[in-house]
Structure 1
Amino acid sequence: MSVQSVLVTGGSGFLGGALLRHLATSKSYLPVAALRRECLDLPREIRRFMLADMTANADWRDALTGIDVVVHCGARVHVMDEAATDPLAEFRRVNVDATLNLARQAAKAGVKRFIFISSIKVNGEFTEPGSVFTADDTPAPVDPYGISKLEAEIGLKQLSTTTEMEVVIIRPVLVYGAGVKANFLSMIRWLQRGIPLPLGAVHNRRSLVSLDNLIDLIVTCFVHPAAAGQVFLASDGHDVSTTELLRSIAAALKKRAVLLPLPVSLVSAIARLVGRGAVAQRVFGSLQVDIGKNQRLLGWVPPFSFEQGLAATVKPFLENRKP
């Protein structure tokens, strides 16, 4: 198999950086990082392309020379406390306009395959008990972030019909792994400190995907002929409740989770009173996905277990633990 040159955008981010480090360990790939700032965590041998900003007018010609595959991880990500006066316009500026600008230049440069890291938010915000999202469901995004990701998907699909470049779309659920941030990081810190949490009686179902499983799916899509033109959902194939997740994280940390079995209705009401209703919906609601399509078309099943993913996630905390 010939060596593939792979351009990864968002190279300083959680997923982009991890993907680049993975590719750098293989002789099958020549990774190129698209960065807006220098990233010292990346191996020195990885070629850098410094970009002032991802815009609809950015010039990608130098970065795309000789590239076989583009993995577009760069994005304006979902934010909890939105400050923009027109959030949808801001998301569209980066996630739609800048994405399609890159894709058009990639097609012109002869890139064979463009892998777009989208979001499960394109499907929707939650699933009803007993139901799951699939890759071929009618999209139903709710927030500006999800809407912008869907619009980018539509634009990429249209581009693929008028050029020779193949497009693959991957919609991950919540991604966890070493270096995870946001709410998942907060949960780890709470459990590591032994803080009691009123989440001992949550019976929802959530799909998650470990960083290693997501990277394996992305790499599988580099050349697999059946991936072209498809949408795939990414998960571990192992769903848990919020209570089970917290207990599993604590076990990985070698801690005992102190979870108070308060009624979900009570905790939700308190969350709404303090302006955290959206957080409560994510904590108590369900979001399950079916990744059967991945196995049917790609022969792909998650190679790493949920427990392995959590072990990799908490490893930095265990290694940095003070005596």
Structure 2
Amino acid sequence: MNVIITGASGFVGQNLTEYLKQKDNQVISLSLRNKDWKSSFPVNADAIIHLAGKAHDTSNTSEDQEYYQINRDLTIELFNEFLNSEIKQFFYFSSVKAAADRVDHILTEETEAIPYTPYGKSKKEAEEYILNQPLPANKKVYVIRPCMIHGPGNKGNLNLLYKIVKKGIPWPLTAFENKRSFLSIDNLNFLVDQMLNKEDLASGIYNFADDDAVSTNELIKTINYAVGKKARLWNLSKK
């Protein structure tokens, strides 16, 4: 199978590219940074996996319009190229934040999406455009909403927590037994490969997560075990 991947140089892109190649797929990297990317748009492909986008900026220094230009407008352009091509499958990697920027319950495909940040809104508006376009009978569209992805080489928030724990800094919030979903890069790779090869899979929104939710306390204990340290957990009162 010939698979186009945008954002192939990122954490997910690098891992997914290698995995699909091991499964005897031909992977074609498409950079959307080049304004003339349409002139080199590969037409002899079976699927597009759109990973490229502007990630959530935790420092809040990005302009709101950047999110809409990259996550919404560029996605719409790419999707229109897909519609006008012979390519059969389109995977849009959105985000769990397109459904809810703050999660207080279990999310499903039926959850009403109410994002409030520019990042979440831009992802949601791209989803709406994709899912509202008339789709030829021979094409399929999959909107993927992954939660926090973990694995070797990840430089996100989970990596920051790893660095804090490795320094031996105590965790003072043991009294708060919160749980959240994570997604291993290995499970992500497996799921995408299965979807690529499952002919009767319906178009729609798919939430990706590992089977079990993990509390921050459990996560810190696991990281400490991995680095050979004793977990320093402080049970401060919630009051």
TM tier relative to shorter chain: over 0.9
Cα distance in 2 between the residues matched to 1:59 and 1:34: 8
Mean CA deviation greater in 70-79 or 188-197: 188-197
> Would the aligned equivalents of 1:77 and 1:145 in 2 still touch at CA under 8 Å?
yes
Cα distance in 2 between the residues matched to 1:264 and 1:90: 39
> What are the residue-to-residue correspondences of 1:1-323 with 2, within 5 Å?
4-27=1-24, 29-35=25-31, 51-53=32-34, 58-85=36-63, 87=64, 89-128=65-104, 131-161=105-135, 164-264=138-238
Cα distance in 2 between the residues matched to 1:26 and 1:114: 19
Following superposition, the deviation at residue 246 of structure 1 comes to 0.9
Change (3 A) 1:189 1:105: same
Gap regions ≥5 residues in structure 1: 36-50, 266-323
Letter in 1 for 2:37: D
Change (3 A) 1:52 1:233: closer
Change (3 A) 1:7 1:223: same
Secondary structure at 1:187 match in 2? helix
Cα distance in 2 between the residues matched to 1:224 and 1:136: 22
Following superposition, the deviation at residue 146 of structure 1 comes to 0.8
Segments ≥4 residues shifted beyond 4 Å: none
Cα distance in 1 between the residues matched to 2:174 and 2:95: 29
Change (3 A) 1:162 1:185: same
Cα distance in 2 between the residues matched to 1:58 and 1:201: 54
Secondary structure at 2:149 match in 1? strand
Secondary structure at 2:179 match in 1? coil
Provide TM-score, normalisation by structure 2.
0.92
> Would the aligned equivalents of 1:71 and 1:117 in 2 still touch at CA under 8 Å?
yes
Residue in 2 that maps onto 1:292: none
Cα distance in 2 between the residues matched to 1:125 and 1:226: 32
Provide TM-score, normalisation by structure 1.
0.69
> Would the aligned equivalents of 2:172 and 2:234 in 1 still touch at CA under 8 Å?
yes
> Would the aligned equivalents of 1:107 and 1:164 in 2 still touch at CA under 8 Å?
no
Cα distance in 2 between the residues matched to 1:105 and 1:257: 51
Gap regions ≥5 residues in structure 2: none
Cα distance in 2 between the residues matched to 1:100 and 1:223: 25
Cα distance in 1 between the residues matched to 2:102 and 2:70: 25
Q: How many residues align?
A: 239
> Would the aligned equivalents of 1:9 and 1:72 in 2 still touch at CA under 8 Å?
yes
Cα distance in 2 between the residues matched to 1:157 and 1:183: 30
Cα distance in 2 between the residues matched to 1:58 and 1:165: 25
Deviation sequence 1:219-263 (CA, Å, 0-9, x none): 112132343312111110101211111111222223222121123
